[in-house]
Amino acid sequence: MSQAKVPAWVNIALIPFLNIMLAFVVSGLIILAIGEDPIEAAGYLIYGAFGYDEGVGYTLYYATNLIFTGLAVSVAFKGGLFNIGGEGQAYIGGLGVGLVCLALDHTMPFYIIAPLAILGAAAFGAAWAYVPAYLQARRGSHIVITTIMFNFIASSLMVYLIVNWLKEDGRMAPNSRTFEENAWMPYLHELFSPLGIDIGDSPLNVAFIIALVCCVFVWGLIWHTRWGYQLRTLGTNPTAAKYAGIDTAKVTIWAMLISGGLAGFVGINEIMGVNHSLLLNFTAGYGFAGIAVALMGRNHPIGIILAAILFGALYQGGSELAFEIPTITPEIVIVIQGLVILFSGALEHMFKDRIEGFFIRRAVA
Amino acid sequence: MFETLILMLDATMRVSTPLIFAALAGLYSERAGIVDIGLEGKILGSAFAAAAGAAVFGSAWIGLFFGIMASVSLAMVHGFACITHRGDHIVSGVAINTIVAGLTVTLSMNWFGMGGQTPTLSGDSRFLSVTLPFADALANVPVIGLIYSELLSGHNILVYLAFAMVPVTYWVIYKTRFGLRLRAVGENPHAVDTAGISVAFIRYRALIVCGILCGLAGAYLSTAHNAGFLKDMSAGKGYMALAALIFGKWRPVPVLLACLLFGFLDAVAIRMQGVVIPGIGEVPVQAIEVLPYVLTVLLLAGFIGKAIGPKAIGRPYVKERA
C-alpha cells in the first residue's frame, strides 16, 4: 500500500476527524442511555467551555496542563517510546517547583524564583524519567512497565514527603504552607487588566505562555535539529538507526529526559500558578490525559494545542454540564477521553486502511 | 507472636485473592502474546457490575455473573483492537482503564445516585465466609487449631477459588493442548499458523479466560471483601497484579508466590502503622507500600534474576498472504 497516493488531508484531517466523531457518537449514545439528551448536553458543554470569558479562561487553564503532558508523551512517542509515566513525572516536577518556592519565597524576588522554579520542574520531572529511561536503554527493561511502577513510587514518595516533612505545622490538611505572593505565577487576567482588557477571572496564568513556548521548542527540536532527526529515525526504524551509527541508548535517555521535563511543567501551572502550595494528587490524571492529547494531536505541536484545547473544553464544559444536568457527572469527560484513546489510538487502523484503500483505488482508476 | 503472625497471614490471604485472580488473568493473556495493561479497568468494571447486579437481584452469584460479563466484554474490546485491528496493546489497555474509570462513576451516579457508590450489600447479596468442617472443634488445639480455624477456615468461597485456580492454570498452560497452543502463540505465532491453527482464535480464547478471571477479581472486591462498589475501588490492584505477573516470570506458581509476597507486604504496612522499631525508629508505611513496585523494577533491571517475557508479546500477528 503506497502512502504517496493518499492525499495528505486524508491523514491529517479526515481520519482523525472520523475517529473523534466516532468517540463523540458513542459518548452521545451513553448519555442517551442514561436518559438525557446528548444534543442538549453538548450545548451546555460548549457554552460552559467557550460561552463566556471565565469559561474560556478555565478551558485554557486545563489545556495548559494537557499541552505539557501531551508534548511529553509525543516526544517519547517520536522515539518509539511509550512514556506512560507522565503522571508521576508531573507529580515530582511539582515537588521541584514547590521546594524552590518554599525555599526562596521569603528572600528572593519573583524574577529569580520563576526561572529557578521552571528549572526545578524540568530537573525533577526529568530525573524521575531518567531511571526508567536508563533501564530501558542500558538494561533492556520495558519502559511501559517501569514508568507505571514509577507512578506508584512517586505517589507514595509524595505522600511521605508532604505528610512527614512539608506539611504546615499544626494543620491537619496534607498541604505545605501557602507561598508568599512573590512566588506566584501571575494570572493572565491580572496582567491584562492594566491594559484595559478584561478577560474574566480564571486560574489561567503565565504557565499557558510557557506551554506555547514549549510547543515551539518541541517543534524546532524534533523537525529542525540533528538530534530530532536521530529521534525520529529511532522511532521509525530502530535497526536502521543503529546501522546509521546513531547512539540509540543515548537518544532514548535524552528523549525520556525531555519528556519527563515537559511533564514536570504541570507543576508550574498547578503549584505555582493556581494552588500556591504543595499538595497531594494535584496531577489529577493529566499525565494519562496527555496520552489522549498526543494521540489525537498526531504527535505534532499544533495538533497537540488543538487537542489540548478540546480536552480542556471538555473538562470545563463537563463541570458546567454536571451543574445543569445533575444526572450527568463530570466523569463523563473521562469516558469521552477514554473513547478518544480507543478510537484514535487503539483502533486507528479500523478506518485508516479502508479509507486509504479507497483513495488509492480512486487514484489508480 | 505466633498468633500475630497467623492473623497477618490470614490478612495476606484476603488481600492476595484479587491479585491472584488478576495476575493469573494476565498470565493467560500475556502468555498468548497480548499485553494487558487493562487488568485494572477490567477489575473495576467487574467490581461495579457485580455490586450493581447483586444489589438489584439480591444474589451474589447473579452479581458475579454480571461482573464476569462486564469483564469479558472489556477483554473482547481489547481483543477487537489488538487482534482484529492490530492496534497497540498498551494504548488499548490505557483506553479501557480510562473508559471504565469514568463510566463506572457515571453509571452508578445515574442508577443509584449515591455519590458514585452502590447500595450496601448484605446477606445473600454478598459472598460470606465459609467455616470449614471441624474448624470450631479444632480451634482449641495448639498450633494446628489456630492455623486451621483462623488461617484456613473462615474465608469466603472466592478466596478458596483463587488458590484453586493456580494448579488449574498450571495444568491448563502446561498439560493441555490449548495451553501448548496458547504458549506457542505467545512465542512464535508463525509456527502456530503454519500448523493450520488460527492465531486470532487462540488469542481471543485466552482473552476470554483473562476476562473471566478479572471478573472474579472484581466481584471479590465489591461483593466479598467489601459490601458494595466504591469509586476507583480497584486502587491500582490491576497494576500490582501486573507487577506480580512479571515478578513471577509469567509462571503460575511463582506468580502465586509473588501475589502472596505483595499481599503480605500490604498486611505488614497496615500493621506497622506508627510502630517504632528499636534501633531503626518508625518505618514509614509508604516505604513498605512501594516495595512491590521497587522489587519489580529491580527484577526488570536484572539486579535480582532476570524477567524474560513471551517472545512475541505485544506484537500484532499479520498473516502472510501469497
Give bridge partners of residue B277 from the DSSP assignment: B281
* Chain A CB contacts of B106 below 8 Å: 30, 34, 328-329, 331-332, 335
pLDDT digits (tens, 9 = 90+) for B128-162: 888 888 777 777 777 777 788 778 888 889 999 99
For residue B240, give the chain A residue with the closest CA: A149
pLDDT digits (tens, 9 = 90+) for B12-63: 999 999 999 999 999 999 999 999 999 999 999 999 999 999 999 989 999 9
Q: Which of residues 254-293 of A touch B (CB under 8 A)?
A: 288, 291-292
For residue A349, give the chain B residue with the closest CA: B85
Inter-CA distances, A4 with A17, A277, B79, Å: 21, 52, 31
Q: What is the pLDDT of residue A360?
A: 82
Q: Domain containing B294 — which CATH number?
A: 1.10.3470
Name the residue range of residue B260's domain.
2-300
Amino acid at B202: I
Residue A265 lies in a domain: yes
Rg from Cα positions in chain A: 21
Residue A351 lies in a domain: no
Task: Return the higher-pLDDT residue of A290 and B304.
Answer: A290
Q: What is the pLDDT of residue B151?
A: 80
| Dihedral sign of CA atoms B33, A337, A133, A284 in order | negative
Distance CA B75, CA B95 (A): 12
Judge: B293–A150 Cβ closer than 8 Å, yes or no: yes
Which of B210, B235, B239 is CA-nearest to residue B225? Answer: B235
Judge: B86–A349 Cβ closer than 8 Å, yes or no: yes
Neighbours of A302 (CB within 10 A): 11
Interface test with A, best of B83, B88, B94 (most A CBs within 10 A): B94
Q: Does A216 touch chain B (CB under 8 A)?
A: no
Q: Which three cell numbers stand for residue A297?
A: 494531536
Decide if pLDDT at B274 tops 80: no
pLDDT digits (tens, 9 = 90+) for B181-231: 999 999 999 998 999 999 999 999 999 999 999 999 999 999 998 888 988
Give the one of B86, B102, B300 whose C-beta lies nearest to A145's C-beta.
B300
Name the residue range of residue A90's domain.
64-291
Distance CA B16, CA B9 (A): 10
Taking residues B285-305, report their average pLDDT: 85
Judge: A135–B297 Cβ closer than 8 Å, yes or no: yes
Which of B259, B214, B213 is CA-nearest to residue B44? Answer: B214
Domain count, chain A: 1
Decide if pLDDT at A243 tops 50: yes
Decide if pLDDT at A1 tops 50: no
| Alpha carbon of B79: minimum distance to chain A alpha carbons (Å) | 10
For residue A33, give the chain B residue with the closest CA: B107
Decide if pLDDT at A125 tops 90: yes
Q: What is the pLDDT of residue A4?
A: 54
Residue B317 lies in a domain: no
Residue A272 lies in a domain: yes
Which of A236, A247, A270, A213 is CA-nearest to residue A90? Answer: A270
Which of A213, A206, A246 is CA-nearest to residue A230? Answer: A246
Q: What is the pLDDT of residue A152?
A: 93
Which of A297, A332, A290 is CA-nearest to residue A314? Answer: A332
* Chain B CB contacts of A337 below 8 Å: 98, 102
Decide if pLDDT at A263 tops 90: yes
| Alpha carbon of A194: minimum distance to chain B alpha carbons (Å) | 42
Q: How far apart are the first and last CA of chain B?
A: 70
Give the one of A131, A160, A338 whose C-beta lies nearest to B98's C-beta.
A338
| Alpha carbon of B153: minimum distance to chain A alpha carbons (Å) | 33
Q: A2 pLDDT band (50/70/90 cuts)? A: very low
- Residue B212's H or E segment, with its range, is helix B199-219
Query: Are A173 and A275 contacting, i.e. CB atoms less than 8 angstroms apart?
Result: no
Distance CA A123, CA B52 (A): 46
Q: pTM for this structure?
A: 0.91
Q: Which of residues 77-116 of A touch B (CB under 8 A)?
A: 82, 84
Task: Please state, rounded to an integer, the average pLDDT across all residues of chain A.
Answer: 91
Start-end of H helices in chain A: 8-9, 15-33, 38-50, 53-78, 86-104, 110-139, 143-161, 188-192, 207-224, 226-236, 238-243, 248-264, 266-267, 286-296, 301-324, 332-341, 348-364
Decide if pLDDT at B301 tops 90: no
Distance CA B43, CA A22 (A): 26
* Chain A CB contacts of B100 below 8 Å: 338
> Which of A220-229, A347-356, B29-38 is predicted least confidently?
A347-356
Residue A361 lies in a domain: no
Judge: B293–A288 Cβ closer than 8 Å, yes or no: no
Q: Which residue has the cell 463530570?
A: A330
Residue B311 lies in a domain: no
Q: Does A62 touch chain B (CB under 8 A)?
A: no
Give the one of A145, A157, A337 whose C-beta lies nearest to B98's C-beta.
A337
Decide if pLDDT at A214 tops 90: yes
Query: Are B40 and B210 contacting, i.e. CB atoms less than 8 angstroms apart?
Result: no
Amino acid at B257: L
Judge: A135–B286 Cβ closer than 8 Å, yes or no: no
Q: Which residues contact A330 (CB under 8 A, 6 or more apart)?
A: A315, A318, A319, A321, A322
Give the one of A84, A157, A328 whose C-beta lies nearest to B90's C-beta.
A84
Domain count, chain B: 1
Give the one of A82, A292, A329 whose C-beta lies nearest to B105's C-beta.
A329
Residue A170 lies in a domain: yes
Residue B68 lies in a domain: yes
Judge: A332–B94 Cβ closer than 8 Å, yes or no: no
Q: Does A146 touch chain B (CB under 8 A)?
A: yes
Taking residues A102-106, report their average pLDDT: 92
Judge: A338–B91 Cβ closer than 8 Å, yes or no: no
* Chain A CB contacts of B236 below 8 Å: 152
| Alpha carbon of A132: minimum distance to chain B alpha carbons (Å) | 9
Residue A148 lies in a domain: yes
Q: Does A26 touch chain B (CB under 8 A)?
A: no
pLDDT digits (tens, 9 = 90+) for A45-96: 899 999 888 899 999 999 999 999 999 999 999 999 999 999 999 999 999 9
Decide if pLDDT at B238 tops 80: yes
| Alpha carbon of A119: minimum distance to chain B alpha carbons (Å) | 27
Query: Are B311 and B188 contacting, i.e. CB atoms less than 8 angstroms apart?
Result: yes
Which of A290, A355, A299 is CA-nearest to residue A22? Answer: A355
B208 burial (CB, 10 Å; 0-12 / 13-18 / 19+) is middle
Distance CA A66, CA A88 (A): 15
Q: Does A43 touch chain B (CB under 8 A)?
A: no
| Dihedral sign of CA atoms B177, B178, B179, B184 in order | positive
Residue A242 lies in a domain: yes
State how beta strands B155-156 and B276-277 pair: unpaired
- Complex ipTM, two decimals? 0.88
| Alpha carbon of A29: minimum distance to chain B alpha carbons (Å) | 12
Inter-CA distances, A259 with A74, A167, A236, A268, Å: 8, 29, 18, 15
